[in-house]
């Protein structure tokens, strides 16, 4: 028999020929190789299930911190970390307050001159809209 695409098919029996002419799917016929492949028949003796390898987690040092530092931070309790963060924040606030007090003492006269250099314009008023090119239905 010659298929539509021009490939010749050799059918072993009139049964196979008849079913091919009826356009029956070989995967639905229990006695065909296609059905056996689809339902995984006869493969259990030849192949065994492949073992999957589990990935192992490896810790590496980052540019800013060594591996020892990272392990130390991970083993710390969260309370210690929060205390350290709060201490750092307090220190930063104190620095800012001291910088502000220094700048307010020395730079009071300069700020009034510098403030009137530019006039502030709201962003939506940058440029007037063009009249043409848009929809006429408004």
Q: Which residues pair with 8 in a beta bridge?
A: 2
CA angle 7, 10, 11 (to 5 degrees): 130
What pLDDT was estimated at residue 132? 65
Residue 98's CB is within 10 A of a number of other CB atoms, namely: 10
pLDDT in tens, 50-95: 888 888 888 888 888 888 888 888 888 888 888 888 999 999 999 9
Query: What CA–CA distance (Å, rounded) separates 31 from 27?
Result: 9
What pLDDT was estimated at residue 18? 93
What pLDDT was estimated at residue 90? 93
At residue 9 the predicted structure's pLDDT band, cuts being 50, 70 and 90, is confident
Q: Does residue 131 carry a pLDDT above 70?
A: no
Contact present, 9 and 3 (Cβ < 8 Å) = yes
Which of 29, 1, 33 lies closest to 17, judged by CA? 1
Domain extents in the chain: 11-43, 68-97
């Amino acid at each position: 028999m010659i298929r539509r695409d021009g490939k010749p098919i050799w059918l072993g029996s009139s049964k196979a020929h008849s079913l091919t002419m009826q356009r029956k799917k070989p995967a639905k016929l229990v006695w065909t190789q296609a059905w056996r492949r689809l339902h995984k028949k006869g493969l259990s003796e030849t192949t065994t299930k492949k073992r999957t390898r589990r990935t192992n987690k490896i810790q590496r040092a980052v540019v800013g911190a060594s591996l020892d530092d990272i392990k130390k931070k991970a083993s710390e309790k969260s309370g210690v970390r929060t205390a350290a963060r709060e201490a750092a924040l307090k220190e930063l606030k104190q620095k800012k307050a001291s910088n502000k007090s220094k700048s307010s003492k020395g730079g009071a006269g300069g700020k009034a001159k510098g403030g009137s250099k530019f006039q502030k314009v709201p962003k939506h008023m940058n440029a007037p809209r063009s009249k043409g090119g848009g929809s006429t239905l408004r």
